[in-house]
Structure 1
Amino acid sequence: MTILVLGATGKTGRRVTAALGSAARPASRSSALRFDWADESTWDTALAGASAVYLVPPALNLDAAEVAAFVARAVAAGVTRIVLLSARGIDPEDGREAAVRESSVDWTILRPTWFHQNFTEDFLLPMVLADEVTLPLGPGGHPFIDARDIADVAVAALTRDGHAGRVHELSGPEALSFPDAVAQVAEASGRDVALVDVPGAAIAEALRAGGFSEQYATVLGHALEAIRDGHDAGLSTGVQDVLGREPRSFADYVKESASSGAWA
């Protein structure tokens, strides 16, 4: 089995690659095997001989055209299994999910919540290091999930039977508000992190300035406000259902990250 792992240097992709070992074919814009969503000339080489794909869509937009074109190319190349990284709360009419569902391959869709690793490998890290987290803040909780758990579920879906045609809703074991999560990070790291409450529209504007599409920035701004207002606290059981164990806790993630000097 040869499994093409897209986004292989990203939060889940590199963990999927590590877990698959020799079966993995890692590809990204910065990998030895280059894959670029914006450059279709890189697609065929990445797909040649692959039997399965871990599909991480383009990061800056919600456009389905590229994913639909890639899925068609993958099917033509002989791929028989695709595991798509989607997200909780995605629009039921999302074209990227539809492109996978409507293909002729065995497909699995993963819909995780926001990652623990957003605090160490993504947009929240610079805020923590600057000792000021600027977000829509309130008592609403969210069950953040560890990227390692997403990767473990992805590997199971890529390598084992029983996941075809299934959507796995994934979350961590408890819902935490952003103020509570930041407080845990501050305590473990010894930092004095201030909280600044802003509307989701301000975050969306910053995302647009950072290169995100209008639609994607707006969706993320609304998602943050939904968390703030307590509309996204529900737990999902996908990790338990697939792996037969509880998902990793945010507290353990914070402890490990602080020990490794992530916020030093």
Structure 2
Amino acid sequence: MADGGPPREARRMTHTDTTRTHTTNAPGTVLVLGGTGKTGRRVVARLRELGVEARVASRSGDTPFDWSAPATWQPALDGADAVYIVGPEESPSPTPAFVEQAVASGVRKLVLLSARGADVPGYFADAVGAQHRESEAAVRSSGVAWTILRPGWFAQNFSEGVFLDGVRAGELALPTSDGTAAFIDAEDIAAVAVAALTEDGHDGEVYELSGRRALGIADVLDEIAKATGVRAAYVPVEPSAYRAELVAQGISEEEAAVWTEALEPIRTSREAPLKDGVRRALGRAPRDFSDFVRDAAAKGAWA
């Protein structure tokens, strides 16, 4: 606790979802880093549905926050009881310094968005893997309650992320061969994050998160086409050709290499095995990819 003062009183409430009724122990204020991003904005929405004050922090959010500008950290932390951490993919990571400052400011709970394979040597490019390991180590040694989330590739990359333009253009060229991945719905990630932030029983847990089925890129595009009529062809390319195309589009050699290596776990199907984190955290199965497609289509993702 900051300055040795009394802890802020946690509010108790009962929350009912489709699978169970449970008592939560919600913090007064949750600082949500990356609060306008894929998982962050969904975390904010769910917290507010529960009546929990969610502080949206990002470079473009209500609360200015920039990982590269430490002067923005303390104003964002003031009065926060818990933090949802989405760190930058760089090494050395600024997350350890932020965690130290958060604990000194009185934060009592940390929920870290890490990544599938963070504990597996060689799963990521060196800098990305090191960032996740450094961030996880900082949270584990923080001295306050913590939970780590390790999701695989997001389903939302096809509806609001890096694959969307290819889907809309009718051709998605990726160096993923016939590999598969159990794409996770960001709604599930947010649901687990909010459970960890507001409920008892999640402290010290590492939740490996995957979707319900493993799909290849062609399978994904087929599901989107069946639901929406928007048809896109999957064009498998070699990693070297993909990297060269990114550079030709103006991306740096270093960033192009990182992006290409990030897709390697799909190409080799290391993202395919199903994980039980959603069920352990929420008491239900993950949302199916078809659920994601239906909801994204209803919101006009591919219109």
Same fold (TM over 0.5): yes
Alignment of 1:1-264 (within 5 A): 1-21=28-48, 22-58=52-88, 61-92=89-120, 94-204=133-243, 206=246, 214=254, 218-264=257-303
Cα 1:226–1:33 shift into 2, 3 Å: closer
Cα 1:243–1:218 shift into 2, 3 Å: same
1:54 positional shift = 0.1
Cα 1:45–1:201 shift into 2, 3 Å: farther
Q: Hey, what's the Cα distance between the residues in 2 that align with 1:129 and 1:81?
A: 41
1:23 positional shift = 2.1
Cα 1:209–1:95 shift into 2, 3 Å: farther
1:31 positional shift = 1.1
Cα 1:38–1:127 shift into 2, 3 Å: same
Q: Hey, what's the Cα distance between the residues in 2 that align with 1:90 and 1:213?
A: 24
Q: Hey, what's the Cα distance between the residues in 2 that align with 1:166 and 1:217?
A: 34
Report the structure, 1 or 2, having the larger strand content.
2
- Bigger drift between 88-97 and 169-178 goes to 88-97
TM-score between both structures, scaled by the size of structure 2: 0.80
1:237 positional shift = 0.6
Q: Hey, what's the Cα distance between the residues in 2 that align with 1:32 and 1:161?
A: 29
Q: Hey, what's the Cα distance between the residues in 2 that align with 1:24 and 1:82?
A: 14
SS of residue paired to 1:254: helix
Counterpart residue type for residue 12 of structure 1: T
**Percent identity (aligned):** 52
Q: Hey, what's the Cα distance between the residues in 2 that align with 1:45 and 1:213?
A: 36
- Bigger drift between 184-193 and 14-23 goes to 184-193
Q: Quick check: 1:140–1:228 contact (8 Å CA) kept in 2?
A: yes
- Bigger drift between 198-207 and 224-233 goes to 198-207
Q: CA RMSD in A?
A: 2.1
Q: What count of residue pairs does the alignment treat as equivalent?
A: 261
TM-score between both structures, scaled by the size of structure 1: 0.91
1:82 positional shift = 0.5
Cα 1:209–1:6 shift into 2, 3 Å: farther
Q: Quick check: 2:214–2:273 contact (8 Å CA) kept in 1?
A: yes
Cα 1:202–1:13 shift into 2, 3 Å: farther
Q: Hey, what's the Cα distance between the residues in 1 that align with 2:196 and 2:247?
A: 32
1:232 positional shift = 2.5
Q: Quick check: 2:177–2:237 contact (8 Å CA) kept in 1?
A: no
Q: Hey, what's the Cα distance between the residues in 2 that align with 1:91 and 1:219?
A: 18
